[in-house]
Amino acid sequence: MSSFKYQCVDLTGKETSGTLSAPTLSEARTVLKDKGLRVVSITESVSIKSPFSSATFSVKKTTVGETDLYNMSKELSVLLRAGLRIDNSLEIVTQTAANQVLKACLRSVVKEIRAGKSVAEAFEKTGTFNNLMLSVIRVGESVGDLKMSFEQIAGNLQFQIQFKAEIKNNLTYPVFLILASMVTLFIIFKFIIPRFFSVFGADQLQHLPAVSKMLFAMSEYLNMYAIFGVIVAIVLFFKYVGVKKLFHSAYARALSLPVFRPLILNLELSRFSYSMHTMLSSGIEFIKALKYSIDLIQNERIRNVFQPALKLIKEGRSIGEVFSGIEMLPDIVPSMVTVGEKSGNMKEIFLELFNVFDDRFKRAVKKIVILIEPAIIILMGIIVGFIVISLILTVMNVGNIKL
C-alpha cells in the first residue's frame, strides 16, 4: 500500500485535506470520489524524519523509475512480438516486476483492459505514466501495432538512462575532487589551525602579522558559526525550498553563464530532438509531438522560448520560419527543419539534429571536465599557500612576542 496526501472539496464547498492508503493513485482518487469529494490535488508521499528535529517533512515520491519502465516496455515488446495478447503479456511482466508500485499499476491495467477499456485508457487511469508514453501507446493501439509502441518507449527510456549515466560518469571525478578539497579545508580550519594558535593569548594575537590574524579569524568564525549554519540551512532547505525547486532555479540561471551555456543548450536540444524523432517515428502528429517534447525540456528559459513557437505553428505558420525566429536556436536547426518540412521527412531530420547536438554536448562536457581539474588544483594551491605563508610568518615573529 502507498500513502497519498490529498486536498479535496466536499459538496458544500468546504476544503478538506489528509492522507489515505491505496494500491495506486487511480484507486486513491476513486476512494475520494466515492466519499463525495472533488479532488483538488493528490500526490504520493513518504514521511522522512528530520535528523535535526521532530518535524516530519512530506516529500513527493517518484514511485516508478526510468529503469523499471524500461524493463517493463522491453519485456512487453518481446512478449507481444512472440504473439501473446496484451493482457497476458502484462500479467507475465507483473510477475517479474521488482517495483511493488509498478506491480500494483500493472494489475490495475490488466483489470481495466479485461473490463473493456482500451490499453491507452487503462494505462492513463493509473496516473503513473507520462503523456509521451500514453501518446505512443495510443498511436500503436490505433494502428494495431502495440509491440512497435513499446519498442519506441523502451528505446526512448534507454536513451534517457544512458544519457544520465554518461553525465554522472563524466562528473564523478570533478565532484570527488571538489568534495575532497572541501573536507581537507574543513579539517585544516577546524582542527589544525586552532591548535596552532592555542599557544597564544588574546594580547599576543594582536602582535601577529595581518595575514596570521586573518587566518585565525577565519578559523574562529568557522568553529563558532559554520556547523550551526549548515544545520539550519539543511533544515530550512528541506522544509521551505526543496531539491527540485532549487535545481530548476539554478539550472535556469546557469544558462546565462558563458561556460555553461553551450553545455546546457546542447543537452536540452539533443533531448528535444531525440524526443521529436521518437514520437514522429511512432506516428504522433507534429503539433502533439512538439508539445510533449517541449514539456520534456528541463531548463525553464529554453522551454519558455519554445512555447510561442507552438502557438504560431498551430496558427499555420511554416515550421522552419517559426524556428528561425527563435534567437536561442543555432542556425542549423531552422535550416534542417526547413529541409525536412519540404521533403516531408521530419523524423530523420530530428535524428540528425540529435546526433549533432549529442556530439556537441559530449565535447562540451569533456572540455569542462578537462578545465575543472587544473582549476581546483590551482585554487587549492592558492588557499594552502596562503595558510602556509601565514603559519610561517607567525613562527618567524614568535621571537618578537612574549609568550
169-228 pLDDT, tens per residue?
877 888 888 888 888 888 888 888 888 877 777 677 777 788 888 888 888 877 777 667
H/E stretch holding 20: strand 15-22
CA-derived radius of gyration, the chain:
28
Of 125, 160, 195, the residue that ends a domain is 160
Q: Are residues 314 and 183 in the same domain?
A: yes
Both 202 and 237 in one domain: the answer is: yes
User: Of 151, 147, 153, which Cα lies nearest the Cα of 84?
Assistant: 147
Segments forming the whole domain that contains residue 281: 163-403
Q: Is the pLDDT of residue 30 over 90?
A: no
Q: How many CB atoms lie within 10 A of CB 339?
A: 14
Own/partner long-range contacts of 254-259 (Cβ < 8 Å, ≥24 apart): 255/299, 255/301, 255/302, 259/368
Contact call for residues 393 and 215 (beta carbons, < 8 A): no
d(CA 10, CA 29) in angstroms, rounded, equals: 14
Same structural domain, 250 and 376: yes
CA distance 77 to 153: 9
Whether residue 253 sits in one domain with residue 269: yes
Does 268 lie in the same domain as 182?
yes
Q: Please tell me whether residues 371 and 223 are part of one structural domain.
A: yes
> Which residues, other chains included, contact 31 with Cβ-Cβ below 8 Å and sequence gap of 6+?
20, 22
Closest of 151, 161, 121, 125 to residue 28, by C-alpha: 125
- pLDDT tens sequence across 256-296: 888 788 888 998 899 899 889 888 887 888 998 898 888 88
Residue 13 shares a structural domain with residue 77: no
Last residue of a domain, one of 129, 160, 191: 160
- 51 has pLDDT over 70: no
Is 183 found in the same domain as 124?
Answer: no
Domain shared by 270 and 168, yes or no: yes
- Looking at the structure of the chain, the number of domains it has is 3
> What CATH number is associated with residue 134?
1.20.81.30
Are residues 274 and 346 part of one domain?
yes
Predicted TM-score of the model (pTM): 0.63
Residues 272 and 138 in one domain: no
Rounded to 5°, the CA angle 163-165-169 comes to 120
Report the pLDDT averaged over residues 153-173. Answer: 83
Check whether residue 135 and residue 241 sit in a common domain: no
Mean pLDDT of 374-403: 80
Domain boundary among 23, 42, 60: 60
Q: Are strands 2-9 and 56-60 parallel, antiparallel or unpaired?
A: unpaired
**Residue 282: what pLDDT?**
78
